[in-house]
Amino acid sequence: METWYGFNVLWLFSAGGKEPFVDPRFIRIDEHELDFMAKMGCNFIRVPTDYRFFVHDFKYDQYDEAMLKILDKAVEAVVSRGLHCSLNVHRGPGYCINGNEFERDNLWTDKIAQDAFTNLWTMFAKRYASYTPDQLSFDLLNEPPSPGQYGLTRENHKEIMKRVSTAIRKVSPDRPVICDGLSGGHVAAPELSDLNVIMSGRGYTPMKLTHWHAEWNQKIGSFEWPYPEYPGMKADGQIWNRQALRDFYKPWKEMADSGCKVHIGEAGCYNKVKNETALAWYKDFFGVCNELGFGYALWNFRGAFGIAEHRRENTHWETMDGFIVDKDLYELFIAGMKGQLK
């Protein structure tokens, strides 16, 4: 597997809240963004999806063909540009890290949800069987919870991922399968190593920097956290700098050294911190990934976690192919892709 660098695209990321909004007329596949990413030299695009685009009112055995055709267009738009497409279920039957309370069933404890999850991926495997392993991978479930939360254990998590990956490989034996780390993607799961999967970590550490003043984290105090000066901020019992990032990824490096491929499937720094703070963190994050041999994908291309139009003040903006781009972050990203930040 080549080292993957790129972005997440949010075209099918969320169908909404409790009452999903699924009008296909308002889903836009931005091919101009893909052209820009390909021109940058990227080779990886992650496409997070919400199963409720394709399954309505918990009728798990009925798929919305019109919505699936939109997903077809998204996958083909990525692959046709020579970019690897990683199809991800961000919200699956019975679990999502955001708004889990909207689910009727529980993926970790309920057979009906586990069957629905397996059948969803089996359908995707059959639908996209013509794509080669170099073109398409399957990222089974975004950011499972911590052990003990919602009934997840390391044991039942592995059994569910094993069941789904086995079902996929009955259709496409060589399909690359990706499993996200536990605790929101941050904690390595070496018990999955024998499933022959790629492990996907997260580039959001320390959270008190990357999610400072994030509105969706108000319940855990994101607006009460002190300003995260970086390097040198204190959080989670340590002082954060490049060495602390190396230490954080040590369990992931151990998995990689044992033969399990590792990729950082989401990363980025929210736009509320000063731009110089964000750039200092990005330089160390990209550099540590270079040292460890990990590729990465920012959460988005254009937006609060991206390189374009993130709106942080004191940014060196430059218009490139119609996008307002943070030129300093753009150049750091390119240097990281080239392995120049070790």
- Among 191, 186, 179, CA closest to 206: 186
314-342 tens-digit pLDDT = 999 999 999 999 999 999 999 999 999 98
**β partners of residue 177:** 138
Burial of 195 per CB tally in 10 Å (0-12, 13-18, 19+): middle
Do 188 and 205 touch, CB atoms closer than 8 A?
A: no
Q: Amino acid identity of 153?
A: T
Q: Amino acid identity of 232?
A: G
pTM for the predicted model, two decimal places: 0.97
Q: Which two tokens stand for residue 202?
A: 């997260």
Question: What is the pLDDT tens value at each position of the chain, 342 positions in all?
Answer: 799 999 999 999 998 888 777 777 778 999 999 999 999 999 999 999 999 999 999 999 999 999 999 999 999 999 999 999 999 999 999 999 999 999 999 999 999 999 999 999 999 999 999 999 999 999 999 999 999 999 999 999 999 999 999 999 999 999 999 999 999 999 999 999 999 999 999 999 999 999 999 999 888 889 999 999 999 999 999 999 999 999 999 999 999 999 999 999 999 999 999 999 999 999 999 999 999 999 999 999 999 999 999 999 899 999 999 999 999 999 999 999 999 998
Give just the sign of the alpha carbon dihedral 112, 113, 115, 120: positive
